[in-house]
Structure 1
């Protein structure tokens, strides 16, 4: 499979399951309504894990422009492939969000709260202060990229050939789940202020879908805030990658 197609499919899976758990919790008359923040964070972590399992062996499962740019900033990914990966990720995010809309088709009209509907697509700060929101997204995404590189570096630090083969098996089987647990940890620890976009494609693609889809009584797509979960995660991704390289040399 083409790696660009893999990024598109992986990001679509990520958003289908990730935004899907949000819809399950916030939309009226869903069987998961009022499931709470822990359900959302666990759902997002499992969404990441499943997406990485699906396409990690093909594209590396960046699924996130902040990861792609962060890796490129330290020489871990070719810059010439960055635009194509980002385009695939954003498009996959829009398609995944459209699938969520279809899956919950009966519930949009049952939910009068326009903010709840938008939350099923994109993020917004709990307290509308742009500066603090940027700081939160930078910190959260830096932790994401730093953590992903840390998980990936464990195998590289093992020099014994026998242990290397075992570590490779463990990394293939458990690496995606560890990344998912990292996302759960970020969500429960740092997700409250902004809803932890930590991924421009996770926010932009679904926000475009929200703008275009015929969602009953949907209201606006909050484009005034939309630049924050694009710019701040990219800054955070580069910061996390550079910090990991500075501390560990890789």
Structure 2
């Protein structure tokens, strides 16, 4: 139960702060409106570090089904914990979406662009191209997972791990993220997308379910491949 709560609280904080900076950037009449991609990437990187610091007291701080599945695939996590972890992550992301809906409540009415409203909840491609969108999500997640796995062998000083994870979110966001919005986390995308579909949000359109499988499947495939490749490389040293 402690680990479940850690994953739930951590994912809640991750999505609350991460999607919070997106909403503040693109919704109408906020004080942050129009500050751009740089602000979003920095906001997500810092959100990740903060969430890992807090949840790391209770759980492995995966905060991401792709990370959880990647760790289980190489034997670093018991398969018995996979479903509880993913459930906690999804619930945390969904609750964060509800809280952000309430927090930005008057700004939904002021925002007329349905695409921007959806982007405050979930990701979408700059150019819709299935193969490249899938590759971007998979590649970014593979790099994230390999970075997480490398923290231990590199003997990073205690307490610096979450900062390293935040830095890789910066790197992936600036280099690979502009094509898809870099979900690299199924819970971060699917949980809020479900809430976008369910909540009575002013001016909302559809939830773009035709794209929704990519930020779920891409990170899962990429995370598992990244973990396996890292383990193979580590075994060759």
Same fold, judged at TM 0.5 (above): yes
Partner of 1:56: 56
Cα displacement (A) at 1:175: 1.1
C-alpha separation between the residues in 2 aligned to 1:91 and 1:152? Answer: 29
Mapped partners of 1:99, 1:184: distance in 2: 25
Corresponding position of 1:231: 217
Deviations along 1:99-155, one digit per CA (max 9) or x if unpaired, are 111111110100000000000100011101111100111111101101111123212
Aligned match for 1:209, one of 195, 199, 204: 195
Supply the distance in 2 between the matched residues of 1:233 and 1:153 (Cα, whole angstroms): 24
Counting only pairs closer than 5 Å after superposition, residues 20-35 of structure 1 correspond to structure 2 as: 20-35=20-35
Alignment of structure 1 residues 1-250 onto 2, 5 Å:
2-155=2-155, 170-171=157-158, 173-249=159-235
Gaps of 5+ in 2: none
Quote the Cα distance in structure 1 between the aligned partners of 2:209 and 2:160.
38
- Judge which range, 173-182 or 118-127, deviates more: 173-182
Is the 1:151–1:179 Cα contact (8 Å) retained in structure 2? no
Quote the residue 1:158 is aligned against.
Answer: none
In structure 1, how many angstroms separate the alpha carbons of the residues matched to 2:153 and 2:87?
Answer: 28
CA contact (8 A) 1:45 1:184 kept: yes
Report the alpha carbon displacement of residue 14 of structure 1 after superposing the two structures with TM: 0.3
Q: How many residues align?
A: 236
Partners of 2:173 and 2:191 lie apart in 1 by 20
Please say if residues 142 and 238 of structure 1, whose CA atoms lie closer than 8 Å, have aligned partners that are also in contact: yes
Q: Provide TM-score, normalisation by structure 1.
A: 0.92
CA distance, structure 2, for counterparts of residue 207 and residue 121 of structure 1: 6
Kept after mapping to 1: 8 A contact 2:6/2:57: no
Looking at structure 2, the residues matched to 238 and 65 of structure 1 have their Cα atoms a distance apart, in angstroms, of 11
Give 1:57 deviation, angstroms.
2.6
State how far apart, in whole Å, the 2-side matches of 1:244 and 1:179 are: 16
Runs of 4+ deviating beyond 4 Å: none
Q: Name 1:161's counterpart in structure 2.
A: none
CA–CA separation in structure 1 for the residues paired with 2:153 and 2:111? 45
| Higher alpha-carbon Rg | 1
- How far apart are the structure 2 equivalents of 1:207 and 1:153? 36
Partner Cα distance (1:231, 1:58) in 2: 27
Mapped to 2, the partners of 1:178 and 1:5 lie a distance apart of 23
Q: Which runs of 5+ in 1 are unaligned?
A: 156-166
TM-score for both structures, normalised by structure 2: 0.97
In 2, the alpha carbon distance for the partners of 1:59 and 1:153 equals: 20
* Whole-angstrom distance in 2 between the partners of 1:15 and 1:139: 21
Matched residue of 1:246: which SS? helix
